[in-house]
Chain A
Amino acid sequence: MDTAVSASPLRIALVGVPNCGKTALFNRLTGSRQKVANYPGVTVERREGERAANDGSELRILDLPGTYSLSPTTLDEAITRDVLLGRVADAPAPGLIVCVVDAVHLPIGLRLALEVKRLGLPMVLALNRMDVARRRGVKINVERLAAELGVAVLPTVAVQRGGADALIEAIQPGRWAAQRNVTVPAWQETTAEDAEQTQSDLKGVLEAVGYSAPVENPWFGRVDRLLLHPLGGLMVLAVVMFLMFQAVFSWAEAPMDLIEGGMAAVGEWLRGSMSEGPLRSLLVDGVIAGAGAVLVFLPQIIILFFFILALEDSGYLPRAAYLLDRLMGSVGLSGRAFIPLLSSFACAIPGIMAARTIPSWRDRLTTIMVAPLMTCSARLPVYALLIAAFIPDESVGVFNLQGLVMFGLYAAGILSALLVAWVMKLFASGTLYSPLMLELPDFQWPNSGNLLLGLWERVKIFLSRVGGIILALTIILWFLSSYPAPPPDATGPAIQYSFAGQLGAALEYVFAPIGFNWQISIALVPGLAAREVAVSALGTVYAMSAAGDDVAGQLEPLIAQTWSLATACSLLVWYIFAPQCLSTLAVVKRETNSWRYPLIMAGYLFALAYLASFITYRVVSAWA
């Protein structure tokens, strides 16, 4: 198969083994802010960015999923091979390949570089993480390496400003103009003889460049012995998770009070400065009471992601994956499911997409089906609201009770995912467990720049959701709660006569057995669009139900007074299993190429949520 290489603009593909710094380099070259982390498998699809060349022309830069070889075993690795060979319909083969190799672990990356070089496409080699390599005593004769490979070799430090300047000079289109019309040669699957030849070439090159392996830090070895210990490691993991949820509650209290006070003050000011009418009601009872009630949870989300991002960057998470591999394997989950499930704590959508790294279709499907049971960040406002309203702010030993309950809810999500996976395993006879093959990255202090950038991205996402879809749905709910107006002889609150009130009354028949009142029943509907909208919907519905003017921004004490403990527990349990948002279902449809699986997923999650809430409501009602 011969495929013509595109002439203009110059397309540059970043290729390398997982976790060698391709995405960090992509961000450096394009000014983009794609997610990077200190573990393999973060990039599962091609990403494209652009950069202006020195001559003003455009460079198109592709970040490809990491792969150890051009003979793929997973979907994400196949994407890399197909893009390089020009097999993707809307993406001609690249005009230049930048093969990114981690200088600290040169042999692993160089093996792929030798394989890529055989394609015959123009190529340069970026020797990344040179700063760490120098610190750890790695010796590489860069000039000799360039001579051995017959390509330019550029040392880079992708995470440093200016760390890719030499590479930027090397990829200018003028240098590659003469080679722009080459063709991709025919390619065949790697045979055993090819693999042996590559290994032999690799040995030769490593000897020629005088490569010496990195000096291991003795402390890292000691820390690893503890973190990877079957018992000690699990205890450390439990303590880390405990501390994280304790901090979410204890550190966030002051800033949350500040935002809550600010919201209440704005509501009061609007009420005092505007004449009574629908606009005032929309702003005070809709926007402030609804969207404002969600905004209050921003500090908790920042603290949660601070911990997650710091753990990601430090290299701890793959160790946790190693620890949990046996447990996951015993319930029928592939070891490779850890990273997708971990990603699902932020949002189920990237988690479901990350399941592409799992070679077996059945293992991949199991991971996709249980990913929504991991507690995504959208559920945090719902949990935090109910915990603050119903769980006393007391200490249990050295722990905060509210933090303990939050930890319990997250643990319940994980346990239910394991349980569902185990049940799915019972129906999937004849599948083999595929072991986890994971390269443990080096420990490192979290990069403050990465950390701040990651937090800023999460703040932007949260604020854009509050100011976007949450605000829009809150306005719609306000409209549905306000119209039609009550009849002249109405005795109850106006909302009871509105569209939303009538909908709530109808849904209450379905949800009354699990303790939900009509206000909660209404809030569940927009919560399908995004889970945290349930909080804004409750804020709006209660503000519209109130006879007085003192509700805006006071949702938490209001539900504490009007709901029973059994209802609150039932709603908390509902949200552990809650039928996921519509975007998640849409992604499952796309990833499985069928409506069958999203429908099964919605059905089983709804059934689980209803059953668990029913049991919880009955048990707590009898006990309380």
Chain B
Amino acid sequence: MLQQVLVTFLVLAAFAFSAWRLMPARRRLLTLLALDRWAAGHPALSAWRERWLKPRIIRAGGVGCDGCAANGSHAPRSR
């Protein structure tokens, strides 16, 4: 039974991840912006919005290699 539950979770996660990564870059950006608008109305999510959501919106808004699944790790970092 435990194996069934874990497998169900892993398969659903794999479907969600694949759909996200294979989504057109513009659609991904629009989804993130919609998520950001929703999170803006929930003060409890402000830290998550700043730390998790904002960098992803910036990256999704970029062009070229940033929008490609093959080159996900090239966003400039600050120091």
Contacts and interface: CB of A to CB of B under 8 A. Distances in A.
Interface stretch (A42-50, A96-104, A248-256): A42-50
A105 interface: no
A279 B7 contact: yes
A389 interface: no
A461 B68 CA distance: 11
A49 B78 CA distance: 7
B14 to A, nearest CB: 4
A350 B24 contact: no
A27 to B, nearest CB: 9
B64 interface: yes
A185 interface: no
B22 interface: yes
Query: What does DSSP make chain B's interface, helix, strand, loop or mixed?
Result: helix
B21 A278 contact: no
A371 to B, nearest CB: 14
Interface in B14-58: 14-15, 17-18, 21-22, 24-25
Chain B interface size, under 10 / 10 to 19 / 20 to 34 / 35 or more:
20 to 34
Interface string A580-610: 0011001100000000000000000000000
A45 B62 CA distance: 10
Given A49-B78, A469-B21, A473-B18, A278 B71 contact: no
Contacts of B18: 469, 472-473, 476, 529
Q: Chain A: interface residue count, which band?
A: 35 or more
Nearest to A460: B73
B70 A51 contact: no
A184 interface: no
A461 B17 CA distance: 17
A282 B65 contact: no
A31 interface: yes
Nearest to B73: A460
A465 interface: yes
B76 A282 contact: no
Contact of A280 (B3, B22, B65, B69): B3
Interface in A413-467: 457, 460-461, 464-465
A465 B70 CA distance: 7
A94 B16 CA distance: 40
A307 B3 CA distance: 45
Contacts of A368: none
A586 B17 CA distance: 19
Contact of B73 (A353, A464, A473): A464
Nearest to B58: A48
Contacts of B10: 282, 475
B68 A464 contact: no
A277 interface: yes
B74 A33 contact: yes
Nearest to B18: A472
Contact of A583 (B3, B70, B77): B70
Contacts of A278: 3-4, 7
Interface in A346-399: 347, 349-350, 353, 378
A441 to B, nearest CB: 23
Interface string A21-41: 000000000111110000000
A32 B22 contact: no
A555 B54 CA distance: 43
B6 A30 contact: no
B63 A45 contact: yes
A457 B72 CA distance: 11
Contacts of B21: 468-469, 472
B70 A347 contact: yes
A430 B67 CA distance: 36
B22 A529 contact: yes
Contacts of B73: 457, 460-461, 464
A538 B16 CA distance: 23
Contact of B17 (A51, A279, A472): A472
A48 B17 contact: no
A441 B3 CA distance: 60
A31 B77 contact: yes
A552 B13 CA distance: 23
B79 A582 contact: no
A34 B74 contact: yes
A530 interface: yes
A461 B76 contact: no
Which 3 pairs of residues, A with B, have the shortest CB-CB distance?
A49-B76, A31-B79, A32-B76
19 contacts: A49-B76, A50-B76, A51-B78, A52-B79, A278-B4, A279-B3, A347-B68, A461-B71, A464-B73, A469-B18, A472-B14, A473-B14, A475-B14, A476-B11, A476-B14, A476-B15, A476-B18, A529-B18, A529-B22
Given A282-B10, A350-B71, A460-B73, 9 more contacts: A33-B74, A49-B77, A50-B76, A51-B78, A275-B3, A277-B4, A347-B70, A347-B71, A475-B14
Interface of B: 2-4, 6-7, 10-11, 13-15, 17-18, 21-22, 24-25, 63-65, 67-74, 76-79
